[in-house]
């Protein structure tokens, strides 16, 4: 798994605080796989993460809009690439555990890979259609989620 993750590192991403570019790790994947695997295994067994992997350089990245407005920025944490690879391994282990043990029900679309709010609505409509086709009574209350923009609401009133 470590080898696969290293071989598929995005070389267009920025380097971490250690100054090692993802391209270097990608090109040296064959050499680094065994060492990193041992580090990850030890970290997993001891429940300890190397201190350097916990450090981050938080950079403000501007979104659309005025650059003078602090609300138009989002924080991005620049961390070490080996730490990011370990995060992917842990995420994969947790995801497999959740799927294997059915911790999250299939109806919870927002928490499942490959599912979204749209697939949730489609699934719901499909279930309702089947009930109607079977001649069963169906009552539905629809409460759409919306983002309330106070400024636009006040100006349009």
CB 117 within 8 A of CB 111: no
Q: Average pLDDT, whole number, for the chain?
A: 81
For 99-146, what is each residue's pLDDT tens digit? 888 787 777 777 677 787 788 888 888 888 999 999 998 888 776 665
Q: Judge contact between 33 and 21, C-beta under 8 A.
A: no
Residue 37 CB contacts under 8 Å (≥ 6 apart), including other chains: 2
Q: Which of 14-18, 56-60, 96-100, 109-113 has the lowest mean pLDDT?
A: 109-113
For 60, the 3-state DSSP assignment is strand
Residue 113 tokens, joined: 């890979």
Nearest to 51 by CA among 76, 80, 78: 80
**Least confident window among 17-21, 45-49, 117-121, 151-155:** 151-155
Over residues 78-103, the pLDDT tens digits come to: 888 888 888 888 888 888 888 888 78
Helix (H) or strand (E) segment spanning residue 77: strand 73-78
Q: How far is it, in rounded angstroms, from Cα 138 to Cα 74?
A: 44
pTM of the model: 0.62
Q: Which residues contact 60 (CB under 8 A, 6 or more apart)?
A: 73, 74, 75, 76
pLDDT at 138: 85
């Amino acid at each position: 798994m470590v080898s696969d993750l290293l071989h598929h590192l995005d070389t267009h991403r920025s380097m971490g605080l250690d100054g090692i570019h993802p391209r270097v790790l990608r090109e040296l994947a064959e050499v680094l796989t065994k060492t990193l695997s041992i580090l990850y295994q030890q970290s997993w067994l001891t429940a300890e993460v190397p201190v350097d992997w916990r450090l981050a350089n938080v950079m403000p990245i501007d979104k659309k809009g005025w650059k003078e407005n602090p609300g138009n920025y989002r924080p991005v944490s620049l961390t070490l690439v080996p730490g990011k690879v370990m995060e992917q391994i842990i995420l994969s282990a947790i995801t497999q555990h959740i799927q294997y043990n059915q911790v999250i029900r299939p109806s919870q679309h927002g928490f499942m890979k490959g599912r979204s709010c749209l697939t949730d609505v489609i699934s719901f409509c499909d279930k309702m259609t089947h009930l109607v086709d079977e001649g069963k009574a169906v009552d539905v209350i629809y409460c759409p989620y919306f983002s309330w923009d106070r400024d636009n609401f006040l100006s349009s009133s």
